[in-house]
Structure 1
Amino acid sequence: MVTKIELLIVLRKIAFGSECIAALTGVFFLFNYKIKGVLKWFSIFLIYIFINDIIGYNTRHWFPNSNNLIVYNISTTLTFLFLFFMYHQYIKEKTSKRFIKYFMVLYLVTLFISGFYENYLVQLQSIPFLLGAFLLMTSIIFYYAELLKSEQIQESTKDFLFWISVGLLIYYVGKMPFRIVRDYYANHNNFSTLFILNSIFTIIMNSCFIIGFLIHRKTVSDRYSR
């Protein structure tokens, strides 16, 4: 019978593999298909996340006495800022765009203030992460609300950003409870269930990214075949 630890190890490998496939797929489409605007940088962003996870995972193996949490704190900050910027660029409704600007500032201010009682060298972001995740999900809701009002609603599933948003929304909806209880359960023997769920959400998110790339390819191919 497979234990939770064995299942966790397998799922982590699959999650890491899904990151690799998503990143490589993004690079392929970056050079072969017309991904417009900020979305073309999304492919490069996926490469950064993949490389960051390689560094984060191997830091303790390379440097046994070191702590890898600063690596993840930096990537978390850059991730939120990039995604806020991406939605700000693609959302057209002025009120929503203004709110997303406020979200970016609020996240950075919270990150700065929390730095006085959270040591980002040895602790993961807690309140800044939870706030950033909530504000990002709100930004995604702005995007979907605008999409529902548009004339392109029937073509929404062909939109590259639609699938990115699906993946991000599922990931952060699952990630927020995980991060709330992570510090408590990390010190107990039954922590593996939470990390298993986190790996599953990571796999789902990257699968959505890959689907988005493939649908974008079909859309572009259909456009040029007409």
Structure 2
Amino acid sequence: MWRIVDLFLENSFVLFYGLTLILALVQYPKYFDTPLKYYPILLMYTFLNELLGYLISKDFEFNPLFSELYSDNNVVFYNSYSFIYFIYFLYVFRSFISSETNKKQLLILGFGFIVMSILNSFFQDFLLKPQIYAYIYGGLALSYSIILYLKENKGVLRRKIIKLSLLFWISVGLLIFHIGYTPIKIYYTFSRFSDLELYYALRRVHLTLVGVMYSFIIYGFLQLKGKFKTMK
């Protein structure tokens, strides 16, 4: 049974990323004039990055890097993606927060993430090792920005407008994913995978979290009626 489950989970990214991208493009006229207008580009980048990482894990000849030293390593692509991913979403949530104090906090957190990313590259080879410290910082900073966004809008959480707020569903999906995945990411980085049973169990949780996150985002796009509305 686990074989079938694992086969589905390992290949489910095609379904989730593809459907999310299609809906993002179909609904694009409704949010093209907001900071989310770049989201379809990130989705396409996510899909291509995952596809490339998958292909490299199966056959090192798919690696576009010329050096044989990195020919069977796909970590550099995930490190680059994570940097862009966190910078973009910190920018998005800062744009939708009205409090100047909170905006300054997120600006500081954004610069802090850049500094942490630079420092992390001195401790862990950017081309060969996951930038775990930058990832942890980015995950915490993004989670904090989401909480600030939800806190500012707590007065309308029970109103019907919540169903129309694309960013609300994106924020819930992202928050659930990072709360669940960050500990797994730390384990992936520092474990020597001596316990393969635990590794495969965490892998299933990881891929399930991806599916849950994109399910919320897909629902957000399906609920989007008319022009994009914030929760305010």
TM-score, normalised relative to structure 1: 0.88
Report the counterpart of residue 212 of structure 1 in structure 2.
220
Pick from 176, 186, 198 the counterpart of residue 206 of structure 2: 198
Report the counterpart of residue 51 of structure 1 in structure 2.
48
Are 2:60 and 2:73, in contact at CA under 8 Å, matched by a contact in 1?
Answer: no
The whole-number CA distance in structure 1 between the counterparts of 2:90 and 2:135 is 13
Give the Å deviation of 1:54.
1.1
The whole-number CA distance in structure 2 between the counterparts of 1:13 and 1:135 is 29
Q: What do the CA deviations read for 1:162-184 (whole angstroms, capped 9, x no partner)?
A: 00001100110111111121131
Are 2:56 and 2:72, in contact at CA under 8 Å, matched by a contact in 1?
Answer: yes
The whole-number CA distance in structure 2 between the counterparts of 1:92 and 1:179 is 32
Gaps of 5+ in 1: none
The whole-number CA distance in structure 1 between the counterparts of 2:46 and 2:14 is 11
Are 2:25 and 2:40, in contact at CA under 8 Å, matched by a contact in 1?
Answer: yes
Give the Å deviation of 1:22.
0.7
The residue matched to 2:153 in structure 1 has which SS? helix
1:166 to 2:163 alignment: no
Matched residues, number: 216
Report the counterpart of residue 188 of structure 1 in structure 2.
195
Report the counterpart of residue 65 of structure 2 in structure 1.
none
Higher relative contact order (CA 8 A, sep 6+): 1
Pick from 5, 8, 11 the counterpart of residue 6 of structure 2: 8
Are 2:146 and 2:175, in contact at CA under 8 Å, matched by a contact in 1?
Answer: yes
Paired amino acid for 1:189: L
Are 1:103 and 1:135, in contact at CA under 8 Å, matched by a contact in 2?
Answer: yes
Q: Residues 52-67 of structure 1 correspond to what in structure 2 (within 5 A)?
A: 52-60=49-57, 61-63=59-61, 65-67=71-73
Report the counterpart of residue 38 of structure 2 in structure 1.
41
TM-score, normalised relative to structure 2: 0.86
Q: What do the CA deviations read for 1:88-112 (whole angstroms, capped 9, x no partner)?
A: 1111111111111011111111111
Are 1:147 and 1:153, in contact at CA under 8 Å, matched by a contact in 2?
Answer: no
Are 1:167 and 1:205, in contact at CA under 8 Å, matched by a contact in 2?
Answer: yes
Over the residues paired in the alignment, what is the CA RMSD in angstroms? Answer: 2.0
Give the Å deviation of 1:67.
0.7
Q: Percent identity?
A: 23
